[in-house]
Chains A and B, each alone.
Chain A
Amino acid sequence: MANARKLRILVAKPGLDGHDRGARVVARAFRDAGFEVVYTGCHQTPEQIVSTAIQEDVDLIGLSILSGAHRYSFPRVIELLKENNAEDISVIGGGIFPMEDIPRLKEAGIKEIFEPGAKLGEIIEWVGTNISPRMDADESGSARVSG
């Protein structure tokens, strides 16, 4: 009688810009796609984002930024996930980035980058295809015990 696992997503805004239009629109679209979305508002440090992701046991972190500080904050989130043995949590990014930064961010471990013009449907489809809710405890338990 177990429910189907529900996908949990953290939508977070690192950086000091307050342009939350994109983050809010995407959060709503995720809700409407049936996901549980944890939204923490603007001005989050990478440390806060990772701590939240772990406490909330999310499957995916969606980072939205327009301040230009992505070259610091995106890789830092990945680094902190690793430090906390939580690299199974995927990270995607949204915003506008200089062309040359996109391969760098992907190399750092960001799974996908969505730029303005990406349709909400595309983002949701990408999530549906590429992210599945964490395996249940019995299967992943052994991996965790070693941690």
Chain B
Amino acid sequence: MDIIQQIVSGDVRTIARILRDIDDELPSSRSVLQRLYPHTGKAHVIGFTGSPGVGKSTLVDQIAGFYRKESKTVGILAVDPTSPFTGGAILGDRIRMQRHFLDPGVFIRSLATRGQFGGLSKSTNDMVNVLDAAGKDVILVETVGVGQDEVEIANSAHTTVLVTIPGMGDDIQAIKAGIMEIGNIFVVNKADREGSRKTVRELMNLIEINSRRRNGDDWEPQIVETEAMKGRGIDKLYETIEKHRTFLQATGSEKWREVVEKRTKIQLMGALRDEAFKAVLERIEARGDSIDELVRRIVDRELDPYTAVEQIVDKGLR
């Protein structure tokens, strides 16, 4: 069987291996991705973001359970940070997803950021495409949760769930400062804790303030209170996620397409940027020059950075 057919038919070992090849940037993985692309576009991609310790993995675990009850297949990508000192990583999100380990309808993959900023691994979008082509109905992406730098997920997901817990003042500040727009659904987890009502009120105020910027037919962000560990509020969260999907996919509505186009554009721009940058670097090296050498000359004032860039881009792209 051809590798594409194996992936599309859901062969676990093949899927697992291609994900690794993508993560390791093997050149062979590109052709697989090219051939897989026609098979993508069916899955509902849901991103879960929020600071470390707010219970994202547990929520993902619980939501996966709800989709399984509806007989939908689930792919999970859980991202943990790579140590900047050693390049190694400990990927521990699966600990909270154990009940799905033996369910063939759930595929879980842990990945490390490998130096990528923005709370996702560089390969996340490509990995989402593989799981999409492999026929997963729903793909849940759990970000690292490194404070404010979480905007990337919105470029990967159709629905973005922003998770916080009571008493995290910094989160509210971050939401105010800009990540408000990315959240379609706000979850206040550990809602049995003191301060839960206050957090919900603050979020409601923020949504209210932001409503001026929304058009009449835009989605109004929803707030859901959960106690993920006890499984409370998950039904409500599931319903709200589904409501968002139905909203995007409503007949006659262009919302789904808008989201997909926006995502595709950002991903395309990103890929272009990466490729163009790579090409420029390669050509600099091909000419026997190096970035370090350029840096030395700039620091010694033999060259100014503006001219340097002009020259490289000129040379590189000619």
Contact = CB atoms under 8 A, between A and B. Distances in A.
Nearest to B95: A41
Contacts of B87: 6, 34
Given A36-B88, A39-B91, A56-B110, 9 more contacts: A1-B25, A3-B24, A6-B23, A35-B88, A38-B110, A55-B12, A57-B19, A134-B20, A140-B17
Nearest to B17: A57
B26 interface: yes
Contacts of B27: 2
A67 interface: no
Given A3-B25, A6-B24, A84-B13, A48 B98 contact: yes
A28 B27 CA distance: 31
Contacts of A84: 13
Interface stretch (B100-108, B142-150, B157-165, B231-239): B100-108
Q: Pick the most buried of B19, B102, B282: most chain A CB atoms within 10 A of its CB.
A: B102
A108 B226 CA distance: 47
B68 interface: no
B222 interface: no
Contacts of B308: none
A137 interface: yes
Given A56-B110, A57-B19, A137 B90 contact: no
A83 B77 CA distance: 26
A137 B29 contact: yes
A51 B156 CA distance: 27
B309 interface: no
B16 A32 contact: no
Nearest to A53: B16
A17 interface: no
Interface in B299-318: none
A137 B24 CA distance: 11
28 contacts: A8-B20, A27-B90, A28-B90, A30-B90, A31-B89, A32-B83, A35-B88, A36-B82, A36-B112, A37-B91, A39-B92, A39-B94, A40-B94, A44-B98, A48-B102, A54-B16, A55-B12, A57-B17, A57-B19, A136-B21, A136-B26, A137-B17, A138-B28, A140-B17, A144-B13, A144-B14, A145-B3, A147-B13
Given A134-B20, A137-B28, A55 B86 contact: no
Interface string A7-36: 010000000000000000001101111111
A136 B301 CA distance: 45
Interface in B3-36: 3, 6, 12-14, 16-21, 23-29, 32
Contacts of A31: 83, 86, 88-90
A147 B282 CA distance: 38
A30 B88 contact: yes
Contacts of A136: 21, 24, 26, 28
A140 B26 CA distance: 13
A34 B88 contact: yes
Contact of A39 (B6, B29, B95): B95
A44 B99 CA distance: 11
A117 interface: no
A86 B98 contact: no
Contact of A37 (B6, B90, B107): B90
B193 to A, nearest CB: 24
B209 interface: no
Across the A-B interface, give the 3 residue pairs with the lowest CB-CB distance, nearest first. A31-B88, A41-B95, A57-B16
B72 interface: no
Interface string A42-80: 001001100110111100000000000000000000000
A32 B87 CA distance: 8
Q: Pick the most buried of A2, A8, A36, A41: most chain B CB atoms within 10 A of its CB.
A: A36
B257 to A, nearest CB: 32
A47 B99 CA distance: 12
B13 A54 contact: yes
B44 interface: no
A47 B102 contact: yes
